[in-house]
C-alpha cells in the first residue's frame, strides 16, 4: 500500500525502458516546455493557468466568467452541480472543485458552440436511438435550462432556486431528469444528462481546464492523473497510491 517513489526523470525512465532515443523527441519534451513550475509534491495545488488555487499562484488565481453574464444564473448552475456531486466526508463537491467555472469556460468554447457537431438542417424530432437532433447549441441549452430551474423554483416554492433547500432542488432536478419540464428545442432529460455529464467532467478533467481544483477529484477517486507510465507498477499485487499529477505540471 505504500506510496511509491515516483522521483525519476522521464529521461532516466526512457533509458531504463530501452526506448530508442528517437522517441525522446516524441515523449520527452513536456518538462522542457512547461518547466518553471510545480516540481515537488507540496505544489499539488495548482496547475499553471488553472483557477481556484489557494496559495501564492499569482495571476492564475484570477477567475471570472467567460460565458455567463449574470452571477444569478451562475449561482443556479453552481447549486445544481453541487446537488449532482455534493461535498461529503470523502472530499469537496462540485463547487469546491470549481466545476461551475469549468462549465462556464466550456460553454464559451467549442463545446458550447458545437463546433465539431453536424448542425445543418432540416431538424426533426427523432427516436431516442437517433440521438441529439436539436438545433440548439449546448450553451443555449444551458442558458434555457437554468432559466427554467429558476422559474420552477418560483412556481413550486415561490422563491429563488438558490434559496431552496437540498431536497427542493433535487425535486426540480429530478423533474428535469424525468422529462417533466417543458423545454423549447430540446427535451429536459437531454439537458439534464448534459448537466450531469458536464459536472463529472469538471470534477475529473485535468485541472488545466479550470475544474478539479487541487486535483482533489482525482485524489478522492484514487486516480493518479497524468503519470509517465506504470511499467514498474503494473505487476504489483498491492493497490498503488500515488500523488496525482496534471499534464500542466513538470515531470
Contact set for another protein, span 129-188 (CB under 8 A): 129-133, 170, 173
Burial of 158 (0-12, 13-18, 19+ CB in 10 A): exposed
Q: Which residues face 225 on adjacent strands? A: 245
Cα–Cα separations (whole angstroms), residue 129 to 119, 132, 133: 18, 9, 11
Which lies closer to another protein via its Cβ, residue 69 or residue 87?
87
Query: At closest approach, how far in Å is the CB of 162 from another protein?
Result: 18
The answer to whether 208 and 170 have CB atoms below 8 angstroms apart is no
Which residues, in sequence order, are CB contacts of 150 under 8 Å at separation 6+?
A: 72, 73, 76, 160, 161
Site for another protein in 210-229 (CB under 8 A): 217-218, 220-229
- Considering the rule CB under 8 A, would residue 5 count as an interface residue with another protein? no
On the question of a cis peptide bond just before residue 235, with omega within 30 degrees of 0, the verdict is no
Exactly one of 2, 7, 20, 64 binds another protein (CB under 8 A); that residue is 20
Q: For another protein, which residue of 5, 42, 56, 88 counts as binding (CB under 8 A)?
A: 88
Shortest Cβ 180–another protein spacing (Å): 16
Point out which span in 37-45, 60-68, 71-79, 235-243 binds another protein (CB under 8 A).
235-243
Which residues between 93 and 132 bind another protein (CB under 8 A)?
93, 110-111, 114-120, 122, 124, 126-132
Q: How many Å apart are CA 108 and CA 100, to the nearest integer?
A: 13
The single residue among 146, 175, 205, 249 that binds another protein, judged by CB under 8 A, is: 205
Amino acid at each position: 500500500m505504500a506510496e511509491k517513489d515516483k522521483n525519476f526523470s522521464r529521461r532516466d525512465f526512457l533509458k531504463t525502458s530501452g526506448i530508442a532515443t528517437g522517441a525522446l523527441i516524441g515523449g520527452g519534451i513536456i518538462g522542457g516546455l512547461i518547466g518553471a513550475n510545480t516540481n515537488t509534491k507540496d505544489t499539488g495545488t495548482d496547475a499553471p493557468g488553472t483557477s481556484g488555487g489557494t496559495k501564492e499562484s499569482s495571476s492564475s488565481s484570477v477567475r471570472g466568467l467567460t460565458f455567463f453574464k449574470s452571477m444569478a444564473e451562475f449561482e443556479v448552475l453552481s447549486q445544481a452541480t453541487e446537488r449532482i456531486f455534493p461535498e461529503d466526508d470523502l472530499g469537496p463537491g462540485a463547487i469546491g472543485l470549481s466545476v461551475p467555472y469549468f462549465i462556464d469556460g466550456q460553454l464559451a468554447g467549442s463545446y458550447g458552440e458545437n463546433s465539431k457537431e453536424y448542425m445543418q438542417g432540416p431538424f426533426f424530432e427523432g427516436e431516442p436511438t437517433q440521438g441529439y437532433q436539436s438545433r440548439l447549441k449546448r450553451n443555449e441549452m444551458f442558458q434555457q435550462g437554468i432559466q427554467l430551474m429558476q422559474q420552477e423554483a418560483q412556481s413550486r416554492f415561490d422563491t429563488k432556486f438558490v434559496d431552496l433547500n437540498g431536497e427542493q432542488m433535487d425535486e426540480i432536478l429530478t423533474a428535469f431528469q424525468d422529462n417533466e419540464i417543458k423545454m423549447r428545442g430540446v427535451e429536459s432529460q437531454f439537458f439534464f444528462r448534459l448537466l450531469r455529464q458536464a459536472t463529472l467532467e469538471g470534477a475529473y478533467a485535468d485541472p488545466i481546464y479550470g475544474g478539479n481544483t487541487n486535483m482533489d477529484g482525482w485524489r478522492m477517486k484514487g486516480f493518479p492523473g497524468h503519470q509517465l507510465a506504470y511499467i514498474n507498477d503494473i505487476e504489483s499485487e498491492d493497490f498503488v497510491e500515488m500523488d496525482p499529477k496534471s499534464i500542466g505540471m513538470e515531470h
